[in-house]
Structure 1
Amino acid sequence: METFVDFVPEKEPAREAAPQKPRKALSKISRFLTNKFFLATIGFLAIMLFLDKNDLFSIMERRKELNDLELSKEHYNKELIELHKIKNDLETDPATIEKLAREKYLMKRNNEDIFLTEDQTKLKQAD
């Protein structure tokens, strides 16, 4: 049977300290780039930013579309307010009704004659 040998640090031979070589920056970078957590993080970011259905470019495009829709919403709200005002005038003011009938539908009173002329600017734009 073997006997147990207890090692005492004083009895161990002294090792000479090997001169440490300065690590090069390239070796530090290569160790960092081969780290599995770093690689997993880079892979996750690449998938989320470029390959996902909600990638960075889609988000930017949707924000631009949202801004355009908000601008058109403001435009249509202003137009709706104007149309409500015109509708209210047509329901209450007889002078407005007469003006609309004369301009749009070319209606006239019994003792009036209507002369239609063409606008020169419209003719130039048509050419």
Structure 2
Amino acid sequence: MEEFVDFVTEKEPVLPKAPRKRRALNRISRFLTNKYFIASVGFLGVMLFLDKNDLITTMGRREELQNLNQSKEHYLQELSELRKVKTDLENDPVIIEKLAREKYLMKRENEDIFVTEDKNKSVGTPQN
């Protein structure tokens, strides 16, 4: 009876080494087809572009926040100026008189007021 041989004692043929370029492409293709890499890229794509809090929405909200902070500073400054005017109006009779004369066209007794209009700042424009 013949003996069963489990392995071959001969040397396996030596394959020629692939050029460097092909080896690099092989490594890159193995990396790109890795299931963890594909899952990570998919997750990042969903989070950056498809989510309700995506990158574009976040950037828009950040810009809107900056605009709101600027307008807040503007209104706080305007509020402080108006408070100063209010305290002046409550305490200084000269300023009260000035406001009454300019805004409400009030006058003292025995005094005449002439209202003039500047032609350069008129509302209507002449038609030819």
Query: TM-score per shorter chain, which class?
Result: 0.7 to 0.9
Letter paired with 1:93: D
Letter paired with 2:27: K
How many residues were matched structurally?
A: 118
Letter paired with 2:14: A
CA distance in 2: counterparts of 1:58 and 1:75, whole angstroms: 26
| Structure 1 segment 87-106 matched on structure 2, within 5 A | 87-106=86-105
Spell out, residue by residue over 1:71-106, the C-alpha distance to the aligned partner (whole angstroms, 9 max, x if none): 111110110011000000000000010000000000
**1:62 alignment counterpart:** 61
**1:31 alignment counterpart:** 30
TM-score w.r.t. structure 1 length?
0.83
Gaps of at least 5 residues in structure 1 are 1-6
Spell out, residue by residue over 1:39-59, the C-alpha distance to the aligned partner (whole angstroms, 9 max, x if none): 000000000100001111011
Q: 2:12 aligns with which of 10, 16, 38?
A: 16
TM-score w.r.t. structure 2 length?
0.82
State the percentage of identical aligned residues.
Answer: 60
- Cα distance, 1:21 vs structure 2: 2.6
Q: Secondary structure at the match of 2:101?
A: helix
Letter paired with 2:83: H
Letter paired with 2:9: P
- Cα distance, 1:12 vs structure 2: 6.7
